[in-house]
Amino acid sequence: MVVQKVNMNKKILILSVFIVASCGLAYELIAGALSSYLLGDSILQFSTIIGCYLFAMGVGAHFSKFIKDEDVLSRFVDIELAVGLVGGLSAALLFLTFSWMTAPFRTLLYVLVFMIGSLVGMEVPLVMRALNARQTEFNELVSRVLTFDYLGALAVSLLFPLVLAPHLGLVRTGFLFGMLNVAVALWTIHTFRSELKNMGGRFLRASTVMCLLVFGFAMSDRMVYWGEHGLFGDEIVYSTTTPYQRLVITRWKDDLRLYINGNLQFSSRDEYRYHEALVHPAMQALPWARSVLIMGGGDGLALREVLRYPNITHVTLVDLDPAMTNAFTQRAELVKLNHGSFSDPRVRVINADAAIWLQDHPDMFDAAIIDFPDPSSFSLGKLYSVPFYGLVRKHIAVNGLMVVQSTSPFFAPHAYWTIDATLREVGLRTYPYHAYVPSFGEWGFVLASPQLNYQPPTQYRLPMRFLNADTTREMFLFPTDMQRLPMAPNRLNTQSLVNEFEQDWRQVIR
């Protein structure tokens, strides 16, 4: 009977390794994802967070040796409570801090990562010592503990991007894993109650922390609303976290605004300027065009402008995130803004990675409208690279045109002219231009063609709210403070564009 109880206790300790490993990696992924959403540059955020976290785990593992053998289980319970509390609250604290007090965000981020990493680093050594005290063979001890440690990491690494982040969100996921850590503590208290000191006090603390985390889990949506209200200021009419990004739509009076990962994508008050400038200089030059490819543009606003041309018989829109296209297909205020463009029978919507879709499909088009978010991360930077533009060129008619949203030639000149150089690198003729959009300031675009000798339109077949002969002529002229810079193309293996973009905007913020 005693032997059976000892074996059961061993199994419980080993199973706890699976849970605490899952929780530890979850906190790391939450910190990396949240900082990438809010700060951009996902490689930098994940790299520094992983480095800080692993270093902290080493520190925690080192200090675990100072815990006395007779206190191993008691301290394990205390550590689980601390990890559950700090890790469970971490996402909510970070999000609210960024929303209301941006300056200390980075400091708090790395303080929390270091605290969690140090505590997590103590967990496995303490479990191994507890098992060793129960006369477990060393080979079996190491094998079982590390096996369950790695299995726990595998489980959460799959669940996080596929289930947890898109369906629960980062804040609620943090509270969930905090509850799991506290559950391990309660489980340990119950199983080893005869060996623990001050069991009643620890049970009371564990119950209090669990209640706090359950309350936080239930209030997660409200916390996110408070945070986003502080970040955006206006009424939030729609928000969702997807596997790819955080989407938020706000409203102030008659002004609807779309934010992706905290960055403004459009204001309904002046988006017509941006989208007329994006679409019509190309479409006016192609009266013979029948088919158009739109990449990005999941809001349907560029699509709205393309569909105004009766000669267009087929439009394929490729946008990665179905949550984006669904919102602008189903929500009445958004459908009104894009004039119901997704319901037009000429439109085919494909939710896929644009680069992969181009590789897998041979379709040819007379024009391509490329309307991706700014290259603020390496996942976006690949869509502004030499290989990507080479793929697009293969799908464009010889005398066709493509136009690329290209950031600001005034605020981000190095990034802007890098995009122009990248298009020229794949053998395209480029025709850079810019337009003033009040929400963004001076904004840039680049037209490109395999062979067409493009001339800016002097008139438009359709009525415009912004464009005319004079504004179009001015768009293709660059003043002294926006002249061409000699930049290298953006190659996939280096992604210089992302660094150029970040440095340009850092100068603006200063």
Tokens representing 133 are: 């005290």
Q: Which residues contact 57 (CB under 8 A, 6 or more apart)?
A: 117, 118, 120, 121
What does each C-alpha distance from 482 to 376, 410, 434, 475 come to in angstroms?
A: 21, 6, 10, 12
> Which residue of the set 299, 319, 321, 371 is catalytic?
371
Taking the C-alpha atoms of residue 400 and residue 120, their distance in angstroms, rounded to an integer, is 57
351 contacts 321 by C-beta, under 8 angstroms: yes
Taking the C-alpha atoms of residue 335 and residue 341, their distance in angstroms, rounded to an integer, is 8
Secondary element (H or E) of residue 231: helix 220-232
Query: What end-to-end distance do the CA atoms of the chain give, in Å?
Result: 70
Taking the C-alpha atoms of residue 462 and residue 464, their distance in angstroms, rounded to an integer, is 6
Taking the C-alpha atoms of residue 423 and residue 50, their distance in angstroms, rounded to an integer, is 35
Taking the C-alpha atoms of residue 431 and residue 32, their distance in angstroms, rounded to an integer, is 39
Tokens representing 115 are: 């605290």
Taking the C-alpha atoms of residue 90 and residue 178, their distance in angstroms, rounded to an integer, is 9
Tell the residue number behind the tokens 């990962």, with chain if given.
Answer: 261
3-state secondary structure of 356: helix
* Dihedral angle over CA of 428, 359, 302, 430, nearest 10: -10
Taking the C-alpha atoms of residue 449 and residue 392, their distance in angstroms, rounded to an integer, is 11
Q: Which residues contact 443 (CB under 8 A, 6 or more apart)?
A: 274, 277, 407, 408, 434, 435, 436, 437
- Is 371 designated active site? yes
Taking the C-alpha atoms of residue 17 and residue 145, their distance in angstroms, rounded to an integer, is 7
How many other C-beta atoms can be found within 10 angstroms of the C-beta atom of residue 424?
15
Strands 263-267 and 255-260: antiparallel
**HSE of 148, CA atoms in CB hemisphere, 13 A:** 20
Question: Which residues are known to be catalytic?
Answer: 371
